[in-house]
Amino acid sequence: MSRWGMAVDLDRCTACGACTVACAQENNVALGNPDRPDQLIRWMEILPAERGKYPEVSARLAPSPCQHCDREPPCARVCPVYATYRNVEGLIPQIYEQCIGCRYCVNACPYTCKHFNWSRPEFPAPFERGLNPDVSVRNAGVMEKCNFCYHRLQVVRDTAAQEGREPKLGEYRTACQESCPTKAIRFGDLDGELEGVRENERAFTLLEDLGLMPKVIYLKEKTS
């Protein structure tokens, strides 16, 4: 059984934002309302973090999707209707039809990766032409978040089944990974393509002390 995860090499990331835009386009994320910028939904964000005091200042710019916690994901623990859970491959899906919009998961997620649809997303013409038919458009009152482009895994499996073969290594790719011009984002099976990434001397995860074992693993900048 695969255990899907992501490795983000911060030494290569240029914070260009291609991953953010590709993710939003791929997953039919709401366009946003300029009059309510506080309600903006982005499944993948570049987290800015400035460190130090002038003039000794540096900045870490880290692409941040749902961290897909491997150990007791807080969002799944508090969901009263099992709309979010850890599946057997370690992914944390969100079942929109089951979500009652209580927003417990928003409060529970320490990574602020869960987003609530305060209103029904609108895709005025010609934006509606860009909707991805493989992904549902969420309604008002439900939560949403990154699911590692799970629909792409289904397409890979269907294609492989039709061709009478097993899915190939590296065949399941996320939109953010595909769009990254510096190849800073790698996605795959933590026991396959990404084997050993946790043991990399530069590897770390966000809020490690919480012990949630996120499956998004960052490789910190090299020093030279």
Partner 1 sequence: MPATGKLEPIGWAEAFERLADKTRGSEVVFGAGDLGRGERQLLRGIAARREAAVVDARLPWGAAPVEAMREMLGSGEWRFDLPRATFVLSLGADWLQSFPSPVEAQRAFGAMREGPRRACVVTADARLSVTAARSNDWFPVARHHLPEFALSVAHAMVRMSPAVAARSPAFAALAGETRFGATETGKRLGIRPHLIDWTASGLGMGGVVVVDGADRGIEAAGMALNLVAGAIGRPGGVVAAALPPLPAGLGEPQARETGEFPRTRAAPVVILAAANPVQLALAGSGFREGLARASFVVSLSPFLDESAERADLVLPVSTPLESRNLTWGCTLDGRGFVSAGPAAVKPLYDTLEWPEALLRVGRALSVELPWKDAGAYFAAAAEALSAQDLLKKGGFKSLEQDPAPPSLPADPGAWAAETVRSALSRPGPGAFPLGLAVHVPLAFLGGSGAHLPYLHGIAQVSGREIWQTVVELHPDTARALHIPEGAPVWVDSARGSIQAVLRLRQGIRPDSAGLALGLGRKALGAFAAERGTNPLDLVESAEPAFVRVRGAT
Among 72, 128, 183, 207, binds partner 1 (CB under 8 A): 183
CA dist., res. 196 & res. 171, Å (int): 19
Instruction: Report residue 209 as tokens.
Output: 């002390």
Binding window for partner 1 (CB under 8 A); candidates: 43-51, 83-91, 199-207, 209-217: 43-51
Each as own residue / partner, the long-range contacts of residues 199-205 (CB below 8 Å, 24 or more positions apart, any chain) are: 202/11, 203/7, 205/67
The reply on whether position 165 binds partner 1 by CB under 8 A is no
Q: How far is the CB of 173 from partner 1 (least distance, A)?
A: 17
Shortest distance, position 51 Cβ to partner 1, whole Å:
8
Nearest to 221, CA basis, from 167, 179, 182? 182
Q: Which of 6, 7, 28, 48 binds partner 1 (CB under 8 A)?
A: 48
Q: List all residues 6 or more positions away from 148 whose beta carbon is below 8 Å from its beta carbon.
A: 4, 6, 65, 66, 68, 91, 174, 187
CB of 33 to partner 1, least distance (A): 9
Site for partner 1 in 11-40 (CB under 8 A): 11-18, 20-21, 24-25, 29, 31-32, 34, 37, 40
Q: Which is nearer to partner 1, 31 or 160 (CB)?
A: 31
Question: Residue 52 to residues 9, 58, 59, 116, 150: CA-CA distances in angstroms?
Answer: 22, 7, 9, 33, 39
Cα–Cα–Cα angle for 92, 96, 97, rounded to 5 degrees? 130
- Residue of the chain from 82, 182, 207, 208 that contacts partner 1 (CB under 8 A): 182
66 near partner 1, judged by CB under 8 A: no
Contacting residues toward partner 1, per CB under 8 A: 11-18, 20-21, 24-25, 29, 31-32, 34, 37, 40, 42, 45-46, 48, 50, 52-55, 57-61, 124, 126-127, 181-184, 222, 224
